[in-house]
Every structure is written in C-alpha cells, then in structure tokens.
C-alpha cells in the first residue's frame, strides 16, 4: 500500500515536537495502541535525527510510519532521509526539497496557504499538501479551495482539536496533523501512557471513515 493511500485511510498524522528522547518509544507505542501510526518527528526537536533512527529500528515499518517534520530546506531534507525518514513535511514550500524527495522516491507534503502554492507544490511532485495554519483559515477555506482543486489531498494542520476535527473532514480535508492536542506533554511527562493511548483512540474514533478514501 502506498503511503498516500494509507494516509487517506488512517487520516491522522501525529506531530511529535519536543518529545524527550527517553520518552519517545513509549509515546509512539501508546499512539500506536490507540490507533495512530503515521508519525512526524519535527526537526526542531532535540535529537530529532536520533529519534527517527531509533523509531525506524524499534517498530515494524508495516505498523509504524516515521517521517520528519519542520523540514525547512534541502540540507534538513537530506539529513532526515539519511536518518531513515519515510516522508517529509514542512511548514513552507521549498521546491528544491520537493525535487529532492521526488528524486529519492520519498513522499513530501509541503506547507502551503494559497491556491498558487498548492498548484505549484502539486505540479512539482508533492503527493499531498499541508494546509497551515488551518485553524486560522478555518474549514470554510477548505470547502472553497476544494471546488477548483479537488484532486489535491489536503492535510489540515494547526488548530485542529478533538472537538473540531470532523468539521475539517466534512469540508474536504484528506487528513489532519495533530500536535499538542494529541501528543499531550503533561501525560508524557507523568508517564501516563495509558491516558495517551485512550486520547489517541478518541481522535481515531472521531474520524469519519467513509470520507476521502480513494
């Protein structure tokens, strides 16, 4: 199964930002047990490359997909792929990063905000685009943008919560990126991984499975 098809089915990307390295494996295990298996380790986290490498070697690649987030430039993309990243996500549109990812057959989901950026990213070879900040733009923006650009999968990221995520799916989002609302820092700090698993399961249960699968 291709990664983009898996994204369309599972619909959630967990954003692991500033998760301590010693807690990373337990955090990912809890998310996995809760039903979330597509994981983004942000490159601005301490020890991000080591964490990506550790996770790739600790979990079956069929169970857990590990990518790098906050990939701002070509050098960061190269480092992430060398560490074992299976996909790249950025908050910005850098065509050199897309070109590198396509050349190395790595999925790239760049951050965009405007229709022009979306089309440029898609034309350059991105398999999906990250709409950021989605919370600022709102579900209505996705509804409007999907009218002319219905062929481009959108990952809504920024400001997505358990209470509002269904609105983004109904508006046409293929998937959502979830940071602190899912990857709860207090639960991780207190080693409450059972609670983290249960929280992940709530987000998974709130996903409308009939939407966006193609």
Q: Which residues are catalytic?
A: 40, 130
- How far, in Å, CA of 80 to CA of 82, rounded? 5
**What are the two backbone dihedrals, phi and then psi, of residue 154, each rounded to the nearest 5 degrees?**
-115, 130
- How far, in Å, CA of 183 to CA of 158, rounded? 13
Tokens of 103: 């050349």
- How far, in Å, CA of 121 to CA of 96, rounded? 11
Q: What Cα–Cα distance (Å) separates residue 193 from each residue in 13, 34, 57, 60, 88?
A: 18, 10, 21, 20, 26
In angstroms and rounded to an integer, the radius of gyration of the C-alpha atoms of the chain is 16
On the CB side of 120, how many CA atoms lie within 13 Å of its CA? 14
Exposed/middle/buried for residue 120 (C-beta within 10 Å: 0-12, 13-18, 19+): middle
* Residues linked to residue 111 through DSSP beta bridges, in sequence order: 130
* Count of other CB atoms within 10 angstroms of residue 18: 14
Whether 109 and 131 have beta carbons less than 8 Å apart is answered as: no
């Amino acid at each position: 199964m291709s990664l983009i098809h898996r994204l369309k089915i599972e619909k959630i990307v967990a954003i692991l930002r500033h998760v301590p390295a010693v807690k990373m494996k337990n955090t990912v295990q809890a998310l996995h047990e809760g039903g979330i298996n597509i994981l983004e380790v942000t490159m601005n986290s301490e020890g991000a490359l080591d964490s990506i490498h550790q996770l790739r070697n600790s979990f079956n690649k069929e169970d857990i997909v590990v990518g790098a987030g906050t990939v701002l430039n070509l050098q960061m993309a190269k480092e992430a792929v060398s560490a074992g990243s299976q996909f790249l996500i950025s908050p910005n549109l850098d065509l050199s990063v897309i070109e590198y990812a396509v050349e190395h057959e790595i999925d790239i989901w760049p951050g965009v905000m405007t229709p022009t950026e979306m089309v440029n990213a898609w034309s350059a070879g991105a398999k999906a685009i990250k709409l950021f900040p989605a919370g600022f733009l709102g579900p209505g923006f996705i509804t409007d943008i999907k009218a002319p650009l219905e062929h481009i999968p959108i990952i809504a990221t920024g400001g997505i919560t358990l209470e509002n995520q269904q609105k983004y799916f109904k508006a046409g989002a293929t998937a959502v990126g979830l940071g602190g609302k899912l990857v709860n820092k207090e639960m991780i700090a207190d080693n409450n991984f059972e609670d983290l698993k249960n929280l992940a399961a709530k987000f998974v249960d709130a996903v409308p499975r009939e939407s966006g699968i193609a």
